[in-house]
């Protein structure tokens, strides 16, 4: 196993994978808080359900609504 930090990887996709995972986790927490849904996580091999705190509702990534059926 390579002990070098992932930030020093030669492959750009690998280098940027950690920030992408962190963004995805933040968006999942925001969505769970907005919808009142618990998150399923694993800590030390134990599966847990957690309820995101209200501060997870801070503005995050904004996306344009999908225009299903709309012609662009």
**10-residue averages of pLDDT along the chain (72 residues):** 77 82 89 87 91 61 64 56
What is the number of residues in the chain?
Answer: 72
Query: What is the reported pLDDT for 55?
Result: 56
Per domain, the residue ranges of the chain are 6-52
Distances (CA, A) of 2 to 8, 9, 13, 25: 11, 10, 17, 25
Query: What is the reported pLDDT for 62?
Result: 63
pTM confidence score: 0.57
Could you tell me if residue 28 is left (phi over 0), alpha (psi between -120 and 50 degrees) or otherwise beta? Answer: alpha
Give the span between the Cα atoms of 53 and 30, in whole angstroms: 9
Query: What is the reported pLDDT for 44?
Result: 92
């Amino acid at each position: 196993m390579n002990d070098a930090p992932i930030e020093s990887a030669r492959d750009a996709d690998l280098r940027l994978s950690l920030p992408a995972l962190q963004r995805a986790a933040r968006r999942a927490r925001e969505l769970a808080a907005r919808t009142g849904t618990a998150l399923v996580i694993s800590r030390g091999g134990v599966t847990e359900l957690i309820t995101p705190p209200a501060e997870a509702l801070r503005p995050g990534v904004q996306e344009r609504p999908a225009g299903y059926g709309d012609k662009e």
